[in-house]
Amino acid sequence: MGELLVSKSGLGYLIMYGSQVFNINLVITGVVILGIISYIMYFMIDTLENYCKKKRGA
């Protein structure tokens, strides 16, 4: 949330700028990119966790 309010570059800035100039495509694109990045990071953490569980149990 802090990035959205005070950023000068990045995805947070892109989303805030898009909302200020009423460019809905810019806002939606930023949110979709954040969603994709979040999914990829979650997948990586989940894979690492499963690997560590198997390693510890073996």
Per-residue pLDDT tens for 6-57? 778 888 888 888 988 999 999 999 999 989 999 999 999 999 999 999 988 7
What pLDDT, on the 0 to 100 scale, is given for residue 50?
94
Per-residue pLDDT at 58 exceeds 60: no
What pLDDT, on the 0 to 100 scale, is given for residue 20?
87
Listing DSSP states for 10-26 in one string gives SHHHHHHHHHHTT-HHH
Q: Could you tell me the pLDDT band of residue 1, with boundaries at 50, 70 and 90?
A: low
User: Does pTM top 0.75 for this prediction?
Assistant: no
As a whole number of angstroms, the distance between CA 52 and CA 19 comes to: 42
